[in-house]
């Protein structure tokens, strides 16, 4: 049966216009159509008799048209002047069943009077109400009315009534009803083509994943279906579109979610396996003693454990590909530097890529402080460098005199030639695309990869999002940290907050204030309710607290100006910074003890948590104030969660629950697989099962036919993942 591509134009009711609309929605073949799942369902399976109808609710009813439909044009009267305000059509149909009669009414659809035929049976779904002023038996006239119902002739294949009805996001040129009918037609076509299957031809002969027969072709090995109690693909596809009952729907969904997650995980494991099997440079010496002695603090147990994972990888002869995950302030930088030190003492270069100039520069100075005394040269490479400085940096990178290289995206540009790169580190990985991480690694032929992220992700999810990486977790904060106290207040507290800022500064501390907008016009354009903006805020606060030096920072400033402002803040020359979220990642000033987040309702939990992580980095008590006037319940519950826990993992799970995985990482996150049906939060249980299956399947001998199907399906999946 292989290789028959059933095109949409072969379906009846699909002309050029509709075919085009379908293609715009990513639907090119019948199989695509069948993989276009409903977004919701409406349970219209409970068909009532007229006597059983519930007023003021949506009901489904089957009945026979009792008389010829009537359509009348009524004048609309202007209520004050009494003058005519145009006319409108009212269409009435009376239906009956063995328990009574019911009036159906539609407005402005006069053609309906020609649709319904006296004596024929139809099925309707709509809201029912009592007709005012009509007693129980008003000459046998109906006392109930159904308004603007959905209708369909009675038959043995009703699609929109009398069943659980699928609700789609119909492509242009389609209504719910016409799209439903098209899907139903496609199901019939797929079933028939299966029956007509070419004898003797194996589905693998000319295997094409777009071909018709694949809609029902079952790629899952029997043993997996049995173990996880999954139905076959045909049953699943039929029941995801037109569920026969709740139970079959649930089984269909389980099967399809499992399948989607299973193949994604298989593909990611395969990619990981392929990378892990690549020869990597071998670091012979693993003695970090000297480095640790100049570091200025003892590594925590968690940091040491992660360093051990890294040491094992880099000395094993294969490429390391490891993600280090740790909450804000857990000390990922120290671990990264330790790994870089290993590269340096083994004669290799190490590169560290950060998402912003500010962060790269901060890493540069921190790194120099440790590495210079050890005799290694550190260079900084960012887009902000002048031409001469850049030339010098590039020369040192190329001839190997710079062992440690720190920078932004500039590190992966074409002109950068490395001498012998042994380790590539990406900080704040969630800010980069997968491609960028990979590009950096490719700058060194057999170099190791270490990526760091502070976005806490539940482990199962990590396996999907970073499925090609091994994961280490720093689950312990350096000693001496005090829990940050978090409050959520509204703008009535503004004076008290200003007073709070004054007091903290008086005691020698510093503060961040975060506003969502840069300037006024922008804040007005973004939202009807006024958003706080950096420029006005700085001006106003300077007027209120003239004795305090207040600076501002935002993404549209020149790199050098940003840097100057950060430097002044670090040096304590200014005590308060009003900023946009440019300071969200990684900025470290231990003396800052207060962060105020204006319009806190604008930020997601993970982002609030990141922002809060800018304080509490020293030993002093720190505070986070969330300011919002929102009354929105969901937003307020987010704020409450912030005041109740500082555990990034807990917050991440909550965030995921509230927003779903897509939004969770924001638009900046690349390389997140998108799913047709799985919901990474809701389907966590199935995800766990699919991951277990993906791990175990390798050790199970499969019948050759099944093994081949599986292999092809997984390699197709790999091609879909954009690496
Ligand atoms: P993050 O994990 O958010 O990147 P950083 O690496 O910036 O955290 O570390 C936060 C602060 O904690 C830095 O000032 C760093 O010097 C300090 N630090 C890291 N590890 C330790 C440790 N084991 N003991 C004491 N301080 C530490
Ligand atoms: Mg960091």
**pLDDT above 70: residue 357:** yes
480 C-alpha to ligand 1 centroid (Å) = 11
- The pLDDT value recorded for residue 356 is 85
**pLDDT above 70: residue 197:** no
**pLDDT above 90: residue 29:** no
Enumerate residues lining ligand 1, CB below 6 A: 297-300, 303, 326, 328-334, 454, 478, 586, 588, 590, 617
8 close to 24: Cβ distance less than 8 angstroms: no
Q: Report the share of the chain in percent with pLDDT over 70.
A: 88
Model confidence band, residue 203 (pLDDT cutoffs 50, 70, 90): very low
What is the rounded CA–CA span in Å between residue 435 and residue 449? 13
144 C-alpha to ligand 2 centroid (Å) = 67
DSSP 636-690: HHHHHHHHH---HHHHHHHHHHHHHHHHHTTTT---PPP-SS--TTTTHHHHHHH
In tens, the pLDDT along 106-157 reads 999 989 988 999 999 999 999 999 887 766 555 667 889 999 999 999 987 7
Mean pLDDT for the stretch of residues 413-427: 92
In tens, the pLDDT along 270-325 reads 877 777 788 899 999 999 999 999 998 999 999 999 999 999 999 999 999 898 98
- The pLDDT value recorded for residue 210 is 46
DSSP 172-192: TT--HHHHHHHHHHHHHHHHH
Q: Which of the ligands is closest to the CA of residue 304?
A: 1
- The pLDDT value recorded for residue 180 is 95
Q: Which of 478, 480, 482 to mutate to test the pocket of ligand 1 (most atoms within 8 A of CB)?
A: 478
- The pLDDT value recorded for residue 535 is 94
Bridge partner residues of 7 (DSSP): 29
341-379: b or e for each residue (b if 16 or more CB lie within 10 Å)? bbbbbbebbbbbbbbbbbbbbbbbebbbebbeeeebebb
Average pLDDT, the chain: 86
664 C-alpha to ligand 1 centroid (Å) = 26
Q: Which of 331, 367, 482 to mutate to test the pocket of ligand 1 (most atoms within 8 A of CB)?
A: 331
- Report residues near ion ligand 2: CB below 5 Å: 586
What is the rounded CA–CA span in Å between residue 515 and residue 599? 7
**pLDDT above 80: residue 215:** no
**Where is pLDDT greater, at 337 or 206?**
337
- The pLDDT value recorded for residue 354 is 92
- The pLDDT value recorded for residue 195 is 63
329 C-alpha to ligand 2 centroid (Å) = 7
Mean pLDDT for the stretch of residues 323-343: 92
**pLDDT above 80: residue 336:** yes
Q: Which residues lie below 8 Å from residue 646, measured CB to CB, with a gap of 6+?
A: 483, 484, 486, 609, 612
End-to-end CA distance of the chain: 32
**Where is pLDDT greater, at 538 or 445?**
538
- The pLDDT value recorded for residue 3 is 41
Q: At what angle do helices 233-241 and 246-276 cross, to 10 degrees?
A: 120
428 close to 452: Cβ distance less than 8 angstroms: yes
In tens, the pLDDT along 361-407 reads 989 999 999 999 999 999 999 988 889 999 999 999 999 999 999 99
* Burial bucket for residue 215 (CB in 10 Å: 0-12, 13-18, 19+): buried
662 close to 672: Cβ distance less than 8 angstroms: yes
Which range (107-116, 164-173, 456-465) has the least confidence? Answer: 456-465
Q: Which residues lie below 8 Å from residue 413, measured CB to CB, with a gap of 6+?
A: none
- The pLDDT value recorded for residue 135 is 61
Bridge partner residues of 380 (DSSP): 406
Which range (177-181, 221-225, 329-333, 651-655) has the least confidence? Answer: 651-655
- The pLDDT value recorded for residue 38 is 94
């Amino acid at each position: 049966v292989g290789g028959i591509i059933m095109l949409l134009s072969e379906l009846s009711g699909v002309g050029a216009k509709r075919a085009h609309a379908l293609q715009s929605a990513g639907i090119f073949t019948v199989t695509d159509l069948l993989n276009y799942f409903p977004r919701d369902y409406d349970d219209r399976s409970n068909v009532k008799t007229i006597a059983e109808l519930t007023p003021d609710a949506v009901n489904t009813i089957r009945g026979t048209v009792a008389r010829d439909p009537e359509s009348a044009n009524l004048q609309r009267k202007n209520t004050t002047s009494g003058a005519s305000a145009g006319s409108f059509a009212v269409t009435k149909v009376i239906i009956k069943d063995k328990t009574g009669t019911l009036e159906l009414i539609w407005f402005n659809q006069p053609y309906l009077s020609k649709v319904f035929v006296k004596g024929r049976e139809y099925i309707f779904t709509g809201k029912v109400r009592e007709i005012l002023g009509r007693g129980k038996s008003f000459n046998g006239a109906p006392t109930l009315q159904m308004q603007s119902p959905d209708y369909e002739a009675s038959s043995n294949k009703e699609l929109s009534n009398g069943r659980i009805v699928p609700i789609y996001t119909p492509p242009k040129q389609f209504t719910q009803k016409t799209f439903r009918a098209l899907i139903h037609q496609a199901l019939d076509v797929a079933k028939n083509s299966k029956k007509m299957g070419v004898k003797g031809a194996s589905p693998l002969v000319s295997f094409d994943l777009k071909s018709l027969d694949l809609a029902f072709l079952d790629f899952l090995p029997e043993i997996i279906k049995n173990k996880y109690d999954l139905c076959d693909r045909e049953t699943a596809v039929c029941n995801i579109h037109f569920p026969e009952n709740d139970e079959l729907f649930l089984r269909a969904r389980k099967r399809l979610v499992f399948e989607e997650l299973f193949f994604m995980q298989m593909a990611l494991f395969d990619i990981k396996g392929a990378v892990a099997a690549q020869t990597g440079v071998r670091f012979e010496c693993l003695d970090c003693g000297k480095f640790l002695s100049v570091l200025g603090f003892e590594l925590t147990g968690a940091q040491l454990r992660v360093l051990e994972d890294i040491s094992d990888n880099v000395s094993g002869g294969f490429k390391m590909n490891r993600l280090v995950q740790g909450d804000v302030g857990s000390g990922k930088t120290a671990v990264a530097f330790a790994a870089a030190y290993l590269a340096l003492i083994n004669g290799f270069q190490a590169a560290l890529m950060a998402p912003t100039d500010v962060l790269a520069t901060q890493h540069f100075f921190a790194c120099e402080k440790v590495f210079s005394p050890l005799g290694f040269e550190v260079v900084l490479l960012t887009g902000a460098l002048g031409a001469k400085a850049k030339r010098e940096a590039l020369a040192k990178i190329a001839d190997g005199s710079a062992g440690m290289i720190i920078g932004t995206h500039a590190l992966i540009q074409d002109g950068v030639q490395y001498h012998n790169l042994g380790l590539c580190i990406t900080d704040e990985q969630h800010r980069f695309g997968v491609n960028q991480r990979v590009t950096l690694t490719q700058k060194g032929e057999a170099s190791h990869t270490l990526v760091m992220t502070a976005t806490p992700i539940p482990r199962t999810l990590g396996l999907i999002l970073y499925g090609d990486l091994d994961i280490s977790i720093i689950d312990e904060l350096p000693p001496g940290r005090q829990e940050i106290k978090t409050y959520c207040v509204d703008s009535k507290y503004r004076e008290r907050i200003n007073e709070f800022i004054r007091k903290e500064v008086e005691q020698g501390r510093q503060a961040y204030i975060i506003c969502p907008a840069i300037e006024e016009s922008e804040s007005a354009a973004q939202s009807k309710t006024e958003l706080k903006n950096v420029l006005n805020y700085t001006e106003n606060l300077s007027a209120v607290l003239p004795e305090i030096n207040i600076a501002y920072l935002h993404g549209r400033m020149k790199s050098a100006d940003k840097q100057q402002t950060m430097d002044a803040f670090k040096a304590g020359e200014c005590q308060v910074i009003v900023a946009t979220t440019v300071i969200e990642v990684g900025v470290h000033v231990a003396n800052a003890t207060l962060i105020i987040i204006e319009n806190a309702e604008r930020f997601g939990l993970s982002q609030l948590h990141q922002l809060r992580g800018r304080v509490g980095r020293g030993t002093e008590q720190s505070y986070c104030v969330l300011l919002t006037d929102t009354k929105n319940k969901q937003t307020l519950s987010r704020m409450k969660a912030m005041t109740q826990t500082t555990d990034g993992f807990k917050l991440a799970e909550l965030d995921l629950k509230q927003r779903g995985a897509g939004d969770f990482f924001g638009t900046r996150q690349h390389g997140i697989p998108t799913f047709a049906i799985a919901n990474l939060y809701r389907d966590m249980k199935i995800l766990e099962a699919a991951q277990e299956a993906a791990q175990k399947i390798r050790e199970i001998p499969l019948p050759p036919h099944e093994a081949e199907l599986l292999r092809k399906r997984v390699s197709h999946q790999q091609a879909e993942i954009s690496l």
